[in-house]
Structure 1
């Protein structure tokens, strides 16, 4: 077994340990309003994004009727297919009826919160403040929240055993929807959606779409929404390209539909060009075999090494004026 393959398997195992028990628990969305009290600044950012705003009118567009009809459903707001990406399927109020009641929100990215909402921000015995949390408790809190289904937004080098590939899981989740590549979306349905006019943007790029309106990096306070440094942007860009390549390659296996396959090929081609520029054995291994394990190995390498890849991919990064 090659060294890179061993690394990939080790990372997958580590990630699995962090997520142990997640599948066994009944995880459900609680809705973004349940996150508001503790994450007010993040909630305010979300309210002004297309993710939140689209809920108000996306179902009124002509294309909505065409697409839902094409997949054999009557209403976008009641559609199981559309609900996977365009909505948060949650009760409007605690204990209420579950439905497509919000646009894409907190749990669309961080995972259904029913099992981790009372874990992820508890810093110790009642009354313990964040700054007083012990390192041991912090590590346990992160692990327990992950096991309960939470997708942490970034890798933390101060959390022992936290897999550095966490950032890949975040990026991969974005491409689930923005690449029409969800495992739960079968190829025939995707083909029908495209034929009815549903867009598939092969130019979706992680930096451009995550560092503009939707950026909510309130890591140290609820007043400073931190921008990424050039080095951070370079790592995030490569992470996005890794996720895009894996998702595109997997998506192409869903169907032989020409339009769908062409869009995924375009995504894959852009990703390969970017990854070639990285010039690392892990990137070459990913290009040769676009698997999630190989992507995790690359992402872990660049984050654990705190690498600045600006000199290699800086020219490919979008300017701030291009951010969405």
Structure 2
């Protein structure tokens, strides 16, 4: 069974609306510098040369890794050229924040003024417009997490069972978002790469677990064979719901967590159960949206013992010393 990345992604990639990271770099120089130090950036050059990737591609009948959607959808930023689609970068700005053609001018316009003269009301209206045109900002944790898990939980059964691709990364939203991909430099004008505070880490941890559960349920609902893909997805579901059950006890003032766990047990983890598994995932999705609209993490200190410490972060974040170092 083949089903694409767009089935999971909160903002399905649209090459016709991709502007590319160079456009973002015009203003976001420090953020792009952080990106260039990440595996998200280096995959553009390294993946087509990787032996394991080449072997997987061969098993899947892919002749050129950058030229077919099977690999491009998750590993590259794709832009529509005159007559064809072309991989122009690795995983980049629009992979997470959504293709920018419709929102980038609104996002960067300062309402036709400057950063100093734009009023707070005008700024709020501008951001509202950017949101309505598809921009996914850092505060939209659920939408960002959907984009992360849309690829870090592999969205194709045949890619695993036939191609031998891993079923997904050992992905956890705090440890990955606070590591090498962290680029929270805008408000300090590049002077520091600010880590998430305790409240945001709680939200990242909780919503990340919820999205992993939702994504794995949807993947299992589409599985057709008793082979590694289905077993891996069932295992991810079981692990995520156990962690969420522990989180529910640690944060009893967030009743939505217990309801998420209830939904996760409402459908059997088996093949040919698409309607019930999908219904469970849909219910979890609505609860996660409610959590992000209702809470900010400030009342969830009970989750702190579960949250990965800096030594568990995925790679090292760009520092102030990196910013000031000569190039």
What TM-score do the two structures reach when normalised by structure 1?
0.78
Deviation by residue 1:81-122 (Cα, 9 ceiling, x = unmatched): 11111000027xx98964012100000000011111111121
Q: Does the CA contact (< 8 Å) of 2:103 and 2:134 recur in 1? A: yes
Q: Does the CA contact (< 8 Å) of 1:255 and 1:261 recur in 2? A: yes
| Alignment match, 1:115 | 102
Distance, in Å, in 1 between the alignment partners of 2:69 and 2:240 is 31
Deviation by residue 1:187-210 (Cα, 9 ceiling, x = unmatched): 5xx324443221223631011111
Distance, in Å, in 1 between the alignment partners of 2:239 and 2:132 is 34
Alignment of 1:53-92 (within 5 A): 53-90=42-79
Deviation by residue 1:195-239 (Cα, 9 ceiling, x = unmatched): 322122363101111100000112412222111122221121001
Number of aligned residue pairs: give it: 278
Which of the residues 285, 289, 302 maps onto 2:259?
A: 285
Which of the residues 291, 296, 300 maps onto 2:293?
A: 300
Which of the residues 141, 145, 150 maps onto 1:171?
A: 145
Distance, in Å, in 1 between the alignment partners of 2:132 and 2:148 is 20
Distance 1:98 1:201, change over 3 A: closer
SS at the partner of 1:120?
Answer: helix
Q: Does the CA contact (< 8 Å) of 2:60 and 2:163 recur in 1? A: no
Deviation at 1:26, TM superposition (A): 8.9
Is 1:134–2:158 an aligned residue pair? no
Distance, in Å, in 1 between the alignment partners of 2:28 and 2:85 is 23
Q: Does the CA contact (< 8 Å) of 1:178 and 1:204 recur in 2? A: yes
**Unaligned residue ranges in structure 2 (runs of 5+):** 1-9, 264-280, 315-327
| Alignment match, 1:265 | 234
Distance, in Å, in 1 between the alignment partners of 2:122 and 2:82 is 31
| Alignment match, 1:218 | 185
Distance, in Å, in 2 between the alignment partners of 1:57 and 1:203 is 21
| Alignment match, 2:268 | none
